[in-house]
Amino acid sequence: MLHSSLPPTQFVLYADDGYDSHVVRLLLEEKRLAYQMRLLHDDRPEELAELNPYLSLPVLVNRDVSLYETNIIFEYLEERHQAYKLLPTTPKERANVRLLAWRLQRDWLALGKTLWTHPDSFDEKKAAHAKKTLSDSLTTLAPLFARHEYFMSDEFGWCDVLLLPLLWRLPKLGVTLPATLCRPLLEYQERGFARQAFKNSLAPAPMLDDDEI
């Protein structure tokens, strides 16, 4: 069920309060695209199955597409909406950023997702290992953040969109970084969290009621 009445640059975001939905909200804010949000929790309405057969969130919809995988959503928006690009200009540079993004998702973000597993399937031993591994890895690589304004780059990009929502959740995950050893990383956090787009991604977006769907 696509929203045929929407303008081409207006989106509806079916989302929860989890990490992946936060990434897409930040992506939309950085691309400066208009959207309304349908906030969902454990219940999945029937219309969601028409948009995403896996019933996972987030799902981004406009009048001619329904997208439900974070990387696909990013690639679509990056190609369709050329302003405020989050990838560099040359093929080699774009490939390097995509590799860095893949490594973030495979390493740090995979550990984060272990820690915010649903309580019904939470494994305390596995979570303790993930917490220590994530903390140790961030601490070890913190000096990298002193080299550039943003993650491995002087320009804000796709890797930052992936990383900042994870860093925002570290206190809730019980991960505390040593201030002295992690100063470059903590300063990076402050710069990222101060961006207007990030602040907007934390604020409630315009909500859709059931009768507006």
Closest CA to 114 of 99, 98, 128: 128
Per domain, the residue ranges of the chain are: 10-85+198-212, 91-195
CB 153 within 8 A of CB 196: no
Q: What's the CATH fold of domain 10-85+198-212? A: Glutaredoxin (3.40.30)
Closest CA to 60 of 30, 26, 37: 37
Angle between helices 158-173 and 108-115 (to 10 degrees): 40
The letter for the amino acid at 130 is A
Q: Provide the pairing of β-strand 34-39 with 10-15.
A: parallel
User: Which phi and psi (to 5°) does residue 207 adopt?
Assistant: -100, 145
Please tell us whether the domain made up of 91-195 is placed in CATH 3.20.20.60.
Answer: no
Q: Coil, strand or helix: which one is 59?
A: strand
Long-range CB contacts (within 8 A, 24+) of 163-166: 163/104, 163/108, 163/192, 164/26, 164/189, 164/192, 164/193, 164/198, 165/19, 165/22, 165/23, 165/26, 165/201, 166/19, 166/108, 166/109, 166/112
Equal fold, 10-85+198-212 vs 91-195: no
Query: What is the full per-residue pLDDT of the chain (213 aa) written as tens digits?
Result: 555 566 666 899 999 999 999 999 999 999 999 999 999 987 888 889 999 999 999 999 998 899 999 999 999 999 999 999 999 999 999 999 999 999 999 999 999 999 987 666 678 889 999 999 999 999 999 999 999 999 999 999 999 999 999 999 999 999 999 999 999 999 999 999 999 999 999 986 666 655 454
CB 143 within 8 A of CB 90: no
